Amino acid sequence: MKEGDLAPDIQLVSDSGEPFKLASLRGKKVVLYFYPRAATPGCTTEACEFRDASEAFAARGAVILGISPDGPGAQRKFKLNYELPFTLLCDVDKAATLAYGVWKEKSMYGRKAMGVERTTFLIGEDGRIRKIFPKVKAKGHAAQVLAAL
């Protein structure tokens, strides 16, 4: 996956349990951010920063979507607990994570394991990837993405 590529059209279930298709947002800018797990410290920091800047993103015509391997129940609870005003998508079978190339081997505390590498994709109105933010550090990331819009 590289900048300029057509973004894979993912079809997932949302935090509300409804089907969601990325192609439904064609014509809008999309901030598609992948995170490892709902309600963990880094993921909460990142989500809350996107929440706090959501009006600024909307003013620039951008829709925010979060994706993790969590199921609808966990995503819904995460969204409600932190009053997240955007859709969280459930990638339980890791289809989107694999399509976007963010399922990677990670090292934590000296152990290697497969997991989601925190990554954000800015997708243009034409469905093409405009910018990729790999190996994201949660704190300050929303401002970094907003500046790139």
Are 7 and 127 in contact by the 8 Å Cβ rule? The answer is: yes
CATH of segment(s) 11-148:
3.40.30.10
Provide the sign of the torsion angle of the four alpha carbons 137, 143, 148, 149, taken in this order.
Answer: positive
For 51-81, write each residue's pLDDT tens digit.
999 999 999 999 999 999 999 999 999 999 9
Beta carbons of 62 and 145 less than 8 angstroms apart: no
Residue spans of the domains in the chain: they are 11-148
Q: Quick: pLDDT tens for 118-129.
A: 999 999 999 999
pTM: 0.95
Beta bridge partners of 88: 66
pLDDT (tens digit, 9 = 90+) per residue, 84-108? 999 999 999 999 999 999 999 887 7
Which active-site residues does the annotation give? Answer: 43
Tell whether the model's pLDDT for residue 14 goes beyond 90. Answer: yes
**Are the beta carbons of 64 and 34 closer than 8 angstroms?**
no
